[in-house]
């Protein structure tokens, strides 16, 4: 099938859809794919990306196996409050905030 045939097939299939949820999902996908606007990052997000790139260049990261092994060992420990704090901290840092922004109480 060439591109024109695929488009026609897709249009025909979409017109037969009854489920609004599926149509909305298709629309979201197309909106995302066709959006030519540049996504603007906050300064803290840009800083975190730069930091991650430097870590990558220095090979300062864990492989999947190493990370999974660390997690397994960590889960065997008894300090649940510390685990909750670390999980919250990692989630917080992964969305673009710095450690100085981090204020979490357990």
| Structural contact between residues 64 and 52, judged by C-beta atoms closer than 8 angstroms | no
Q: Is 96 helix (H, G, I), strand (E, B) or coil?
A: coil
d(CA 88, CA 106): 9
d(CA 1, CA 59): 44
Tens digits of per-residue pLDDT, 22-62?
999 999 999 888 877 777 889 999 999 999 999 999 988 88
| Structural contact between residues 106 and 85, judged by C-beta atoms closer than 8 angstroms | yes
Question: What is the pLDDT confidence band of residue 67, given thresholds at 50, 70 and 90?
Answer: confident
**pTM of the predicted model, to two decimals?**
0.37
> Taking the CB of residue 88, how many other CB atoms lie within 10 A of it?
14
């Amino acid at each position: 099938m060439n591109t024109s045939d695929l488009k026609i097939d897709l249009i025909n299939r979409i017109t037969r859809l009854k489920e609004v949820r599926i149509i909305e999902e298709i629309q979201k996908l197309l909106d995302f794919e066709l959006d030519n606007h540049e996504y603007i990052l906050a300064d803290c997000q840009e800083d975190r990306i730069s930091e991650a790139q430097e870590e990558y260049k220095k090979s300062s990261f864990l492989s999947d196996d190493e990370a999974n092994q660390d997690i397994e060992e960590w889960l065997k420990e008894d300090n649940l409050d510390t685990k909750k704090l670390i999980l919250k901290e990692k989630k917080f840092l992964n969305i673009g905030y710095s450690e100085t922004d981090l204020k979490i109480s357990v």
